[in-house]
Chain A
Amino acid sequence: MYPSRFRYEAPRSLDQAIDLLRTGGGEAKVLAGGQSLVPLLKLRFAAPELLVDINNIPGLDYHRVDPDGTIRIGALCRHADLERSTVLSSGQPTMAAAAPLIADPIVRNRGTLVGSLCHADPQGDWASVMTALGGHVVAQGADGRRSIPVAQFVTGPFQNVLAIDEIAVEAVVPAPKGTVAGGYLKLERRVGDFATAGVAVAIETSGELITRAGIGLTGVGGATIDAVDAAKALVGRPLSAESIGQAADLAAQAARPRTDHRGSAEYKRHIVHTFVVRILSRITESAERAA
């Protein structure tokens, strides 16, 4: 298998890349890690006229925490960078849990978080994580930058709101106001498979009380699911067996799974319930151990 023909450009700056995209007039695609795009090209599900490779643009491979706690991930930060990140392992448990579960170790050396968000696969793990964290995507175009909440960034399977001459340059996790906790669990048939179901949970606490909560669901609908009601059930109260049960029930209700070769809809819904309980129970257990 090999792709259909395309023109290829490897600009050295974002401005050049944006210019190229504009000349491409909607028939151009950005190539970052390529771990979703290249297979799509080979399968000829995608046949762009122009490929704009951004890998030679300096200064996009970062991930860092601002002094206020905001986490910023550049467009060329690879999954493997995040997997090894002390920034995440010490301060962002939902992302730290997800990073080693993306695809397989070799794909993680190339694939990028921002690219995963742009690809907008309903089975994409990072979209659920960023949904739970209330993250956003920074897009750069000829007229400057704009910030788009992840929940509004994706408009459908494999579709996002980027204009034809915009590049997603950064993903941002807003600074937490309280103490962060959370996790990501994914059921997969084997390493590298898409999720049968995945659940991302991110909470912030102040004292005993949960002040913010987000729950994102992977692979159980036509798009990433923001389980808003489930998250709301957690906020304003301490974590308890009762609130955990309610959140898990509501998350399972929010799931829209379909029966396929990975499992029945009922089974996937059950997994969502189990994962919500498991992630939140682990948070209570580690809080008890710390106390």
Chain B
Amino acid sequence: MTSLYEEISPDPPDNVPVRRVTMTVNGEKRAADVEPRLLLAHLLRYGFMLTGTHTGCDTSNCGACTVLFDGKAIKSCTMLAVQADGHDVETVEGLATASELHPIQEGFKHEHGLQCGFCTPGMMLAAKALLDENDDPTEDEVRWAMSGNLCRCTGYQNIVKSVLWAAEKLRAEGRS
């Protein structure tokens, strides 16, 4: 699979040098030929069709494009796809199983942690990065960890509640 901006933009196509990259996305090995300037967010969305990763502000302010890169939350609109070569990427599509929502997703559902839902994938992955490291965060720690993700609907209260709900559920399940 080749990912060039020609496919998503009206740039004149010419002989664009591409690089083969392989990475693990949500536990699955994926390969693509990418031009170096392709952003990771765009490879995920337009190359791998994992459209749960949203691009909001495009200037690394909003965090809607947050994914886990080797387990750490990063903004995928501010990383080149070539940089992910040989690395592990987790997107929102990797949270749920075929039959079951992830406790973080359940938390957002249960506590009404979303309205329009645009920021939610990034919020949930920022939450996952936090809960992977700290299974019993205080409200303050949740707010601090989520402070790189913007939401224009909720006023954040229910997002914080959702993450705390998920933390409790994960602890109860012994999954943390």
Contacts and interface: CB of A to CB of B under 8 A. Distances in A.
Interface in B1-53: 5, 9, 16-17, 19, 35-39, 42
A119 to B, nearest CB: 14
B161 to A, nearest CB: 19
Scoring B17, B19, B35, B78 by chain A CB atoms within 10 A of each residue's CB, the highest score goes to B78
B145 interface: yes
B23 to A, nearest CB: 14
Interface string A22-66: 000000000100110011011100000001010100000000000
A51 B17 CA distance: 14
B36 A106 contact: no
B154 interface: no
A7 interface: yes
Contact of A105 (B17, B73, B78): B73
B5 A2 contact: yes
A190 to B, nearest CB: 8
Contact of A110 (B16, B38, B39, B79): B79
Contacts of B85: 10
Interface in B132-166: 144-149
A109 B72 contact: yes
Contacts of A43: 59
Interface residues of B, number: 36
Given A4-B37, A6-B37, A35-B60, A105 B74 contact: no
Nearest to B75: A106
A107 B37 contact: no
A38 B58 contact: no
Interface residues of A, number: 30
A104 interface: yes
Nearest to A50: B36
A192 interface: yes
B22 to A, nearest CB: 14
A192 B80 contact: no
Given A5-B35, A39-B60, A109-B73, A192 B148 contact: yes
A39 B147 CA distance: 19
Contacts of A4: 37
A55 B83 contact: yes
Contacts of A93: none
Nearest to B145: A105
Contacts of B63: 104, 106
B147 A104 contact: yes
Scoring A2, A31, A39, A103 by chain B CB atoms within 10 A of each residue's CB, the highest score goes to A2
Contacts of A2: 5, 9, 37-39, 42
A106 B73 contact: yes
B59 A38 contact: no
B62 to A, nearest CB: 9
Contacts of B73: 105-106, 109
Given A39-B59, A109-B72, A110-B78, A8 B147 contact: no
A5 B16 contact: yes
A38 B79 contact: yes
A191 interface: yes
A118 B143 CA distance: 31
A42 B58 contact: yes
12 contacts: A1-B58, A1-B59, A5-B16, A5-B36, A35-B78, A38-B79, A38-B80, A51-B80, A106-B148, A110-B74, A110-B78, A192-B61
